[in-house]
Structures are given as structure tokens and as C-alpha cells.
Structure 1
């Protein structure tokens, strides 16, 4: 076995190719974080391995720089380097998870605006496929992530993909429960012959109310957070100001 095949085997082992569901979930997370491509899983595994080795080398250099390597048993400095490797190996996963969560939050924040614009397009006489294309083109500069997903869904529908599958993929990639319910509402309206404009109007109004409720929830949590911050930064200084004269008087009495 040559070097390239050994490297591929190691990357396949580290990327967890044993389970297709776990592999697909990891690929979706990388896509949400902004990393895509045919070999993204192997690249991600290589970056994790490189990060772990770099952290282990940094830990070893720290031991040498502090001049305590000679005073430590072998198992202790090996354990310290292994801990550094573990921290470095975990760091890319935490970064990808954070970037993916930001992507999901942006999709949830931008969805009500997209639904309002889609409602305008549908009421103007455009079909659902045309409204998706129009929304994707109009929101490209304002909300690029959601516009890209709408454009991909529109292209899939033009290519002849089933509407249920296209909207299911849209909801799966974005990890948005509102898009899942949106897909169910659209499919139900199409199957039952309900006017799509009425469905959009009701659903857009519900989304707007849900958005306001989320804003109100965050606003209601703000006084509690401010109270904790105020206590953390105000109470110690206040106690110091009040107790310093008493402590000084007690010390002077001895």
C-alpha cells in the first residue's frame, strides 16, 4: 500500500465513514459552516489531525520553555502533550459547530422577509416556482444564504425534481423548522386545490407574529441579564467601599 492510499485510509477512519447518517450529518454541518466540495470530509479530518499535532507540539515546546521537562516523569509530559492534542483536535469541531449555528440563525432571521416578498409575488400572479426564482434574485445582496437555498430549490424544480423532495431538502439543509412547516403547508395547498396566495398570507402572518414573540422573549430576558451584570460589577465595589473604613478602624484599635 503506497503513501497516498494510507493517507486516504487514515482520513476515512478519522472522518467516521462507518455510518452514512453520521457522515451525511457532518457534511451538512460543514456546508452550513461554509465548507463544501466532494472531498470536504477528508479535508476536515486532515485539518483536525493537523490542529491536534500542532497543539501537541506547542504543549511540548511550552514544557521545554518552562524548563520543567526534566523534572516531570515521562508519563506526565506525555499526558500533557496528549491533552494538547485532544484540545487541538476538538477545536475545528467547535468552530464548525459555531459557524453552522450562525448560519441557521441567519436563515431563521431572514425567512419572514422572504415569505413576505414571496407573498407579493404570488399575489401579483406568479407561480410558486417563479416566485422562488424572483425572491432568490431580489434577496441575493440582502440575505445571500437564504437566497442561495431558494435558487437551488428553484433550479431543482426546473430540472423536474418532485416538489416534496425539493422542499424537504431545503428544510433539511437549513435546519429550520419553519421551512419544514412551510413545505408541508405548500404541498397541502397544492394537493387540495387551495389558493396558494391565501395560504401564503396566513402563513406569513403567523411567521411575523412568531418573529415578534421571539423578539419580545429576548427583550424580557434583558432585565435579568442586566441585573446579574450589575450585581457582578457593582456589589463587590460597594462592599469594598462600605467595609474599608470599618476594617481600618479595627486594625487601628490593635
Structure 2
């Protein structure tokens, strides 16, 4: 009983200390992160390229990717994935070259590090490992690009209502939709945001002479987000039928904000279910060991006597 009380007091004191210190430790990191964002003077572009500077290694990857033939359907799929992740079309061959390189490097590392020193190069198990590492290496770039595309879409989904609010204010102040899009994309609060970059690209394409509807549809194609497609369709129809743009923007912004709140509520409701497995397999066994362990040990000593 004394052991249980001691352990309980220790856990309680540890949790209380962590609860007291956490706000101070977390606040420092949050403040530092916000200061770094505010101190960034150069606006980051959200349209990345895998070849910002053509180094020899990157040129090697591009040549390797261009020499491997892929079907037009597969290239179109990879191009859409890269665009959704924020990369441009010139990054396609770099991406394909990285897949081929990793598919060759990982099996080679396994062969020279394990198979040859162990003398197991011709064994069936080693052959299976070589094939497995080749498949893993080929899929790794696709996995990371897919994860980047998902996180980018989520960030744009969360930012869209705020940009629409700023567009509404600019339009009501007398700016045209193109000037409002540029003004909203250059706002300090959206610095480095992928959606702001896409909006600015669409506005600059319109200024360069491209029809606004085509520029907006290209933006929808690049983002691959249904909410942005609905927003662009609303802009096109508003311009076509001559309805109030500011009112349409305000209504659409309220709708998206409601959808964002519902998405957050849905994610919060799923938290309890996601916590079930960690609680069952990690937390509860540890609690049982801490609570029942000393008692079982004493019972064992009693039976031995």
C-alpha cells in the first residue's frame, strides 16, 4: 500500500510540474515562431521548383528521368500530383529521376552492406529483399510528394475564407477584382501562404493578357481543391451574369467558414476514437504494472513464505 501511495504521489507531482512549466516553455517557442514569420521581409513564393539552381546532380536526375519512357497517362498523373504539391511542370523529370535513382541505390546499399559480406547474394531471401528495397525506393518520392500535396491543400482550405474576406473588403473599397486579388495576395498575414501565391499568379496572368476565366481555371487545376473550384465557378458566373461581386464573395466566405468549422468539429469528434488504441495498448498496461505490480510482488513473497 505504501508503494502505491508513493508512486501515485510521484506521478501527481510530475504531472503538476509539467502542467505548470508547459505554458512557459511552449510560449517561448510560439513567440519565436511568430517573430520569425513577421521578420521575414522577402515574400516566399509558393510555386516551388525542384531545380531552383541547376546543379550537376539535378541535371543528372533530369536527364535520367527524361530518358525513361512513361505513358502519357502516367506523366499526366505525376504532373497533377506535383502541381498539387506546389511544384511546376519542369520538375517532372527531376521527380522521375529521383524515383529511378532511389530504386537503384537502396538495393545496391543492401547488396554491398549485407548480402556480399554475409555471402548470401544468391539466396532467395536476399533476392526478395533486393526487390522489396527497389519497390520502396521507387515509391518514396511519390509518398513525400503526396504528403506535401495533402498538407498544402489543407492549408489552402483553411486560408480560403480569410482571403475571401480581404477580397470582399477590397472590392467594396472600389478595387477591381484583379487589383483586389493582387492586394490580398501581398498582405503580410498571407506571406508564404500557398493560396496567396496561386491567387497572385492568376492575377498576373490576367494582367499579361490571359482571359480571367482561363487564368482562374488554371489556378483551380493547379490547386486540385474542390472549394477553390467552387469559388472560381462563382467568380465566373458572377462576371457572366453581372450580379453583385461583393455580396457573392461575402456569402461564399460565410459558407466556407461554416464548412471549416464543421471540419474542425469532425476532427475533434474523431480524437476520442483515435486515442482508443494508444490507451488500450500503451497507457492501460503501464498503469496496471504500476498499480498492481507491487501488490503482486508482495503476494508472491507471502506465498513463498
In structure 1, the residue matched to 2:292 is 242
In structure 2, the residue matched to 1:206 is 255
Alignment counterpart, residue 142 of structure 1, candidates 191, 194, 197: 191
How high is the TM-score relative to the length of structure 1? 0.82
The question of whether the paired residues in 2 share the 8 Å contact of 1:15 and 1:42 is answered with no
CA distance in 2, matches of 1:49, 1:239: 49
CA distance in 2, matches of 1:169, 1:250: 76
In structure 2, the residue matched to 1:193 is 242
Q: For 1:211-242, what per-residue CA distance to the aligned partner results, in whole angstroms no more than 9, with x for missing partners?
A: 11111112222233334433332321344443
CA distance in 2, matches of 1:49, 1:56: 12
Q: Give the 3 Å change call, closer, same or farther, for CA 143–213 of structure 1 in structure 2.
A: farther
CA distance in 2, matches of 1:173, 1:140: 22
Q: Which has the higher contact order (CA 8 A, sep 6+)?
A: 2
CA distance in 2, matches of 1:35, 1:185: 26
Alignment counterpart, residue 96 of structure 2, candidates 45, 58, 63: 45
In structure 2, the residue matched to 1:4 is none
Unpaired runs of 5+ in structure 2?
1-60
Pair 1:113-2:165 in alignment: no
Between 1:135-144 and 1:96-105, the stretch displaced more is 135-144
Q: Within 5 Å, which residues of 2 pair with 1:121-200?
A: 121-139=170-188, 142-200=191-249
Q: Give the 3 Å change call, closer, same or farther, for CA 11–112 of structure 1 in structure 2.
A: same
CA distance in 1, matches of 2:169, 2:197: 20
Which secondary structure does the structure 2 equivalent of 1:125 belong to? coil
The number of equivalent residue pairs is 243
CA distance in 1, matches of 2:83, 2:238: 31
1:134 CA drift (Å): 0.9
In structure 2, the residue matched to 1:57 is 108
The question of whether the paired residues in 2 share the 8 Å contact of 1:15 and 1:45 is answered with no
CA distance in 2, matches of 1:122, 1:82: 58
In structure 2, the residue matched to 1:27 is 79
Between 1:221-230 and 1:145-154, the stretch displaced more is 221-230
In structure 1, the residue matched to 2:12 is none
Q: For 1:105-153, what per-residue CA distance to the aligned partner results, in whole angstroms no more than 9, with x for missing partners?
A: 1111111111110011011111111111111121575343112111110
Cα root mean square deviation, aligned: 2.9
The question of whether the paired residues in 2 share the 8 Å contact of 1:32 and 1:100 is answered with yes
**4+ runs of 1 displaced by more than 6 Å?**
7-10
Which secondary structure does the structure 2 equivalent of 1:47 belong to? helix
Q: For 1:40-67, what per-residue CA distance to the aligned partner results, in whole angstroms no more than 9, with x for missing partners?
A: 22222221111111101121134247x5
Q: For 1:69-127, what per-residue CA distance to the aligned partner results, in whole angstroms no more than 9, with x for missing partners?
A: 34x64444233222222211211111111112111111111111111100110111111
Q: Give the 3 Å change call, closer, same or farther, for CA 233–121 of structure 1 in structure 2.
A: same
Which secondary structure does the structure 1 equivalent of 2:270 belong to? helix
Q: Give the 3 Å change call, closer, same or farther, for CA 185–133 of structure 1 in structure 2.
A: same
